[in-house]
Amino acid sequence: MDHGYFKDRISAYYDNNLKPEEQVVIEEHLKECEKCRKLLAEFEKLDRLVEEHSQLGGEKYWEESAKKIEKSLGFEEKTAITEVASSRWFGLTWKLAAVAASVVLLTIVGLHRDEIWKEEKPEKRLKSVPSVVTPTDSVAEIITDELKHARPAEVDEDLADREVQKIEKPKPVGRSGEVVSEEAKIPGIGTSAVTPKKGEPADVGKAPSPAVVERSRDDVAARAKKDLPEPDVVEPIVSDNRLQEAVEKAEEQADLYKSITPEKETEPESLAELREQKDSLTRLMVAEGRWKDKSDLAQSFDGKESKKKVKRTPADIENDLLQTCYKIALLTEDKEEYKSVREIIEKVARDEASPNRELAQSYLRQLSEQN
């Protein structure tokens, strides 16, 4: 038999891939042929060489590669956003407390409107204050802090006296004579129908003069005659609207960060979530001044620009935005939306100063390949 035939079959014999009858023939040949035995031995050596020399090293590269893949999957992004969001929520605590406090105060005012307007309906005063209105230290401090910026109120001192007795504040500030206590300065509790006039000096902690008290009574009577709104409206409670502003700011930030902060540790799965996330991140980019040209982002910018400064670097936000846009590009079937998010990625890919430029270029390359 032709020696070439055996050489061809030795490879299959080595892999144990011959029919039994062929195998017998090859084994017989191997006993006689030195060249074929040598060839078989070389196959074995090659096998060992492949086993030994095909293994890849560079552990650092593989760890980076794994992280890159995880980032593409949004694993790291999620963690980062959660951490930042947590710290932001922590930072917002006082504002949220202010929201809670305002709700409590509105409730109190609502319940005590008859007392506040006592000169009209003194007989309808509430006899007790619901337990819910007992202020905690923190809430009282927040409110007091708000009032430090407020103007000295014109106080119904009798009402203030009565309210002070009802409110259990851990560290009550004493009062004397006609002086209104600290507690009485809590809006809606001791300061009824507060409408301080601008230009008057802040004087928290001091009692209003008898003249002021008298004027207060007059004001109350006058307001009652004019059928002014019920006092459970915010306006008469905090005259300079600082509390309201705090509430609005808190709500604005809460809305903004809620959209990029998952409530649980899960990947945003729907396009709607991704779109919302993209819009929020885009707003942050504009707010940071990183992207000054809003017209470039017209399709995703809804005009609700956040004026809040954020602690995360613009590069981080840009990175998150890139990933979100990439995911949308992968998922969306809307050509216009695809074009929109791709433009954002292209914008970063063109930006030589951007640390995310390479990532953007990588995304563009992958999107091109997907197409």
User: Which residues contact other proteins by CB under 8 A?
Assistant: 7-8, 10-12, 15, 17, 42-43, 45-47, 49-50, 52-58, 61-63, 65-66, 68-70, 72-73, 75, 78, 265-267, 365-366, 369
Query: Judged by CB, which is closer to other proteins: 259, or 366?
Result: 366
Least Å distance between CB 359 and other proteins?
12
Least Å distance between CB 189 and other proteins?
49
Query: Judged by CB, which is closer to other proteins: 128, or 368?
Result: 368
Least Å distance between CB 45 and other proteins?
4
The answer for residues whose C-beta is within 8 angstroms of residue 54's C-beta and 6 or more apart is: none
One-letter amino acid of 360: A
Q: CB–CB of 345/321 below 8 Å?
A: no
Query: Judged by CB, which is closer to other proteins: 63, or 218?
Result: 63
Torsion angle defined by CA atoms of residues 113, 115, 119 and 122, in that order, rounded to the nearest 10 degrees: 120
C-alpha to C-alpha distance for 363 and 308, rounded to whole angstroms: 30
Query: Judged by CB, which is closer to other proteins: 43, or 94?
Result: 43
Least Å distance between CB 277 and other proteins?
17
Query: Judged by CB, which is closer to other proteins: 65, or 138?
Result: 65
Q: 3-class DSSP state for residue 244?
A: helix
Query: Judged by CB, which is closer to other proteins: 263, or 293?
Result: 263
Count Cα atoms within 13 angstroms, Cβ side, for 170.
7
Least Å distance between CB 316 and other proteins?
19
Query: Judged by CB, which is closer to other proteins: 66, or 233?
Result: 66
Least Å distance between CB 10 and other proteins?
8
Q: CB–CB of 167/175 below 8 Å?
A: no
Q: CB–CB of 193/231 below 8 Å?
A: yes
Q: CB–CB of 80/320 below 8 Å?
A: yes
Q: Could you tell me the maximum CA-CA distance found in the chain, to the nearest angstrom?
A: 129
Q: CB–CB of 225/246 below 8 Å?
A: no
Least Å distance between CB 366 and other proteins?
6
Burial grade of 19 (CB within 10 A; 0-12, 13-18, 19 or more): exposed
> Nearest 5 degrees, angle CA 338-CA 343-CA 344?
105
